[in-house]
Amino acid sequence: MSLPQRDISPLAGQLEQTLSAGRLPSEVSGWGSQLLQRLRQPVQVAVAGTPGSGKSALIDMLLGRVVIGRNGGGLLVDVCHGAQEMAEVETAAGERLQIPGLLAQMELPQDARRVRQILPDPRLRWHSYRELPLTGPLATQQEMLQQAAGSADIILWCSQEFAADERALWAEVPDSTKDHSFLVLTMADRQVMRGTLPGLIETLEPIAAEEFLGVYPVAAIQGLTARTAEAPQDGLWQSSGGKQLAGDVQRQVDLGRASDVDQAELLIRQFGGSLPAEAAPDVPAPASATPPVPAIAAAPQAASLGAALDQLQSGAEAMLAEAEAAGGPQAAPVLAQCMEMIRNLSQSLDAMPASAAVEAAREAAQDGEEMLMLCQLEQDEDAAVDAVTLLIQLKKELMVEPPG
């Protein structure tokens, strides 16, 4: 999904007022503060890897222009939104320089250690990029990666073959971060020329199934060429692997943003009164494992489905109150209630007259139940929040207005 996206500043303002007025119980105020911070900053996509793994080329490809080029080697580079095209350079001596233009076209001080590249690119309002070079002793690399895991929302791990030393380094990353990470085999064109790519993918797929969202072979230079060409080269963009990766990363960005919005609305409804009028438009629907369901034509049937879905909404909101009474969010009870609610939804759907739309809704509910089972395996607060958000998102996806 691409721009335009919903302006969530009114929602963030309402949440801030709820926090400032002390309406949130102490058990959830920390959650509310973290949520407000996430709403007011872009989703951060960290591009990590060892030197020479193709991090800069991958970011340039995703941006669709040469921004970092060959000047990013060994530097921590942030690419974010701003009014003017410029770079803020931090040196080892503590100097902070502001240089107009693009990093790729600059002569940097020899002791430069960090660069903040600012671009007037509207896409960067919603997600920013950080190039994270993993250099130095193993302990230093582990520390850098742990810091990235704590601050980044999505990680793209760049590698040519994801060798054993890289696997050992990645193994220390928390599972909650791995759930939003991609293994990107950069310079895939070289592997194709050597005839080694199919075998490499076959070897890595079982590992990636446990550690990442998937394996993405990408020829970043070809992808960048396709995006910077005067005439559209969609075929090259697709064959480079860049189109698939860019689309799937964007879906993760959208899912994360939608989850934050759902949780903020939940808190405001429960503790802060009505939502602001500006926040009424729906968040553009992100890609999801549960397919959208066609509108149900018959009015009684639609009403029955609506009542079943309303139970999801009211039940999810009631969970916050129950969690507060229990002294804070309790993973096991929340997950059990979520599972019970989605099974009740499935029973309601089973009782409805058969139709293509109801059948699609049943499949969506079954997919949601399977996702909840995965949440139950984790049994922590994040899993509980994910489960409640899943219910709300499921309702949004199923509640389609009949065509009129």
pLDDT, tens only, 240-278: 999 999 999 999 998 888 888 888 888 888 886 666 554
Tell me what pLDDT residue 57 has: 95
Tell me what pLDDT residue 236 has: 94
The CATH architecture assigned to 43-240 reads 3-Layer(aba) Sandwich (3.40)
| pLDDT confidence band for 401 (50 / 70 / 90) | very low
pLDDT, tens only, 142-175: 999 998 888 899 999 999 999 999 999 999 899 8
Asked if residues 42 and 125 have their Cβ atoms less than 8 Å apart, the reply is: yes
Tell me what pLDDT residue 67 has: 97
pLDDT of 317 higher than 80: no
| pLDDT confidence band for 4 (50 / 70 / 90) | very low
Of 264 and 56, more confident: 56
Tell me what pLDDT residue 364 has: 76
Tell me what pLDDT residue 238 has: 94
pLDDT of 73 higher than 80: yes
| Domain-wise residue ranges, the chain | 1-41+257-281, 43-240, 288-404
pLDDT of 232 higher than 90: no
pLDDT of 293 higher than 70: no
At 220, the amino acid letter reads: A
| pLDDT confidence band for 1 (50 / 70 / 90) | very low
Q: In the predicted model, what is the mean pLDDT of residues 17-24?
A: 87
Tell me what pLDDT residue 403 has: 30
Tell me what pLDDT residue 384 has: 66
Q: What mean pLDDT value characterizes the chain?
A: 80
Q: The tokens of 73 are what?
A: 């080697």
CA 10 to chain centre: 22
pLDDT, tens only, 174-202: 988 898 999 999 989 888 888 999 999 99
pLDDT, tens only, 77-102: 999 999 999 999 999 999 999 999 99
Residue reference for tokens 């020829």: 219
Tell me what pLDDT residue 349 has: 74
